Amino acid sequence: MITAFIGPSGCGKSTLIKSLNRMNDLVEGCKITGDIMLDGENIYGNIDVNALRKRVGMVFQKPNPFPMSVYDNIAYGPRTHGIKSKFKLNEIVEKSLRDAAIWDELKDRLKKSALSLSGGQQQRLCIARALSVNPDVLLMDEPTSALDPISTSKIEELVIKLKRDYTIVIVTHNMQQATRISDRTAFFLLGDLIEYGDTEQIFSIPQDKRCEDYITGRFG
């Protein structure tokens, strides 16, 4: 399933999504209350954070490939988790790039620097990199906001395809994008969750006036 987080800037969408794989642990003075359950286990309990981030991958707003080859970007995570076999790494690199719908574009450029790719290709490479460690959940923080319409469309098609195998949470400012790709939508305002439900219902008959005002463009 794909869940979209929508709401005006500064309402807490990115803060919440970063809580889902404990990225906020890195923020000085950050205080966390409550539980976040992953397969029945509280991720803020006694859990290995590296193992958690293997299971809950993240793709950011701005593509952030490592300054190394396309191949090494994808192989980096599996190597970190102890996979050394060249044969196995080759398999993972090809599968990850295929799953991210970019294998055909990059199969002859695996030794080239990832920084030489276009913005849209870099973002799909970053998605492939997140998939390379076989996560359960994929978090996406405005993954298309820095991209042109054609690249955005490719990423959206990819995300819809990936939901067959992954739970996906996406932060988006683009409400058309939320309606196109998400199954459920959560609307945030000033740090509070105001409304959550099926995307079709949220956009056609929102229950809260503030949600209605936002999606009809009265503010935000």
Q: What is the pTM of this model?
A: 0.93
Q: How many domains does the structure of the chain reveal?
A: 1
pLDDT above 80 (res 30): yes
Residue 70 inside a domain? The answer is yes
- Please state which of the ranges 26-35, 166-175, 201-210 shows the lowest mean pLDDT: 26-35
The answer to whether residues 4 and 185 touch, using CB atoms and an 8 Å cutoff, is: yes
pLDDT surpasses 80 at 220: no
- Domain membership of residue 108 (yes or no) is yes
The mean pLDDT of the chain is 95
pLDDT of 218 reads 84
In a domain? residue 149: yes
Cα–Cα distance measured from residue 211 to residue 114, given in angstroms and rounded to the nearest whole number: 40
CA 69, CA 173: separation in Å to the nearest integer? 32
Q: Which two structure tokens, joined as six digits, stand for 126?
A: 């970053």
Report whether pLDDT(186) > 70: yes
In a domain, residue 199? The reply is yes
- Residue 17 in domain: yes
Residue 113, in any domain of the structure: yes
**Out of 88-92, 110-114, 213-217, which region has the weakest mean confidence (pLDDT)?**
213-217
Query: Residue 165 falls within a domain, yes or no?
Result: yes
Q: Does the residue 220 lie in any domain? A: no
Which domain CATH number covers 59?
3.40.50.300
The position carrying tokens 């359960």 is: 136
pLDDT value of position 22: 95
What does the pLDDT look like over 136-146, one tens digit per residue? 999 999 999 98
Is residue 18's pLDDT more than 90?
yes
The pLDDT value recorded for residue 32 is: 87
Token digits of residue 141: 């923080």
Closest-CA residue to 170 (of 63, 17, 15): 17
Alpha helices, DSSP H, located in the chain = 13-19, 49-55, 70-80, 86-99, 103-106, 119-131, 149-162, 175-181, 199-204, 209-215
Average pLDDT, integer, range 100-119: 96
Give me the domain span that covers residue 156: 2-215
At 112, phi and psi to the nearest 5?
A: -75, 155
